[in-house]
Structure 1
């Protein structure tokens, strides 16, 4: 249960953030780059995929958003409590994975609502998606930094107090 000294935790952290920054609102980054380089069908495909994913995300948020928000807050609060007050490293690790991703999820819903309301096309849509990707990467960098610091602290604490 010592999560921060486990290599699989760090691999999962890296994979999670690389995947989150590659898929912006369910659209792969290479599709955005392809639409920027060659307009035409690539641009139409990008706009269609963004429209489908935004409508899907907003439908889920509208139908079961409050339940998902309540369940997410309950789980994150439980993980935070078990991790901080009961010193369960698995709960700490899961909280450090889940909390920043919940922020990215809320940011995705906000961006999807903005895209549906303004209906951007072409360069404006690509710019909005690139901005969303940048925000996701910033959250990821901060999360990886904080997780690294906390993991080093936990590992050093375990080494010092177990000897």
Structure 2
């Protein structure tokens, strides 16, 4: 690979794409419903102030997320479905690699957004105590990281396939 291929912005194999992917998944995995991981760790150790902060933060962010989806949920869902469909068709069907790379970031992030919305609704419905909330947040973080890991493997696979198709065309 040449310097332009590694640092260019038009490929899945670009260094910038993988730096952006890593940054996005670090930011997405850092907090759940406004509860940073360091606060969750302190609450698991038994700090009473951290436990009360978790319940407060999660309640505030769950209400804000729920209100936003109550107002704009149908529009957000429709727009997201449209954008994901256009990105998938353009990137994967027409083999436009930068668009495929964007699709491979947007699809798993939309799954995380869907899971976060479900978690917010569950927190508002059940009004859990600190211990139950820590379990919910822990499982959400686990699945967020699993989705991120799976999406990275999928991006590598599709990137290799696009590269092979470009290098050795079937026809």
Is the shorter-chain TM-score for this pair beyond 0.5, marking a shared fold? yes
Of 136, 143, 167, which aligns to 1:128?
A: 136
The size of the alignment, in residue pairs, is: 161
User: Is contact 2:33–2:57 with CA below 8 Å preserved after alignment?
Assistant: no
| 1:137 equivalent in structure 2 | 145
Please tell me whether residue 103 in structure 1 is matched to residue 115 in structure 2.
Answer: no
Q: Distance in 1 between matches of 2:60 and 2:130?
A: 16
- The 5-angstrom pairing of residues 141-152 of structure 1 reads 141-152=149-160
Q: Distance in 2 between matches of 1:48 and 1:37?
A: 18
Aligned 8 A contact 1:4 1:155 in 2: no
Query: Could you say what secondary structure the match of 2:150 adopts?
Result: helix
1:48 to partner: Cα distance: 0.5
TM-score by length of 2: 0.88
Equivalent residue, structure 2, for 1:14:
22
How far apart, CA to CA, are the structure 2 residues paired with 1:101 and 1:94? Answer: 11
Match of 1:29 in 2: 37
Matched with 1:119 is 127
Corresponding residue for residue 88 of structure 1:
96
| TM-score, normalised by the number of residues in structure 1 | 0.92
Moved segments of 4+, more than 4 Å: none
Aligned-residue offset at 1:54 = 0.3
What is the aligned partner in structure 2 of residue 56 from structure 1? 64
Q: CA deviation at 1:17?
A: 1.2
Alignment partners' CA distance in 1, 2:88 and 2:67: 29
Any stretches of 5+ residues in structure 2 without a counterpart? Answer: 1-8
Is the CA contact 1:5–1:155 (under 8 Å) kept in the aligned structure 2?
Answer: no
Q: Would you tell me which structure has more helix in proportion to its own residues?
A: 1
CA contact (8 A) 2:95 2:162 kept: no
1:72 alignment counterpart: 80
Q: Answer 1 or 2: higher relative contact order, Cα 8 Å, separation at least 6.
A: 1
Q: 2-side partners of 1:139 and 1:87: how far apart?
A: 24
Extract unaligned runs of 5+ from structure 1.
Answer: none
CA-atom RMSD in angstroms: 1.4
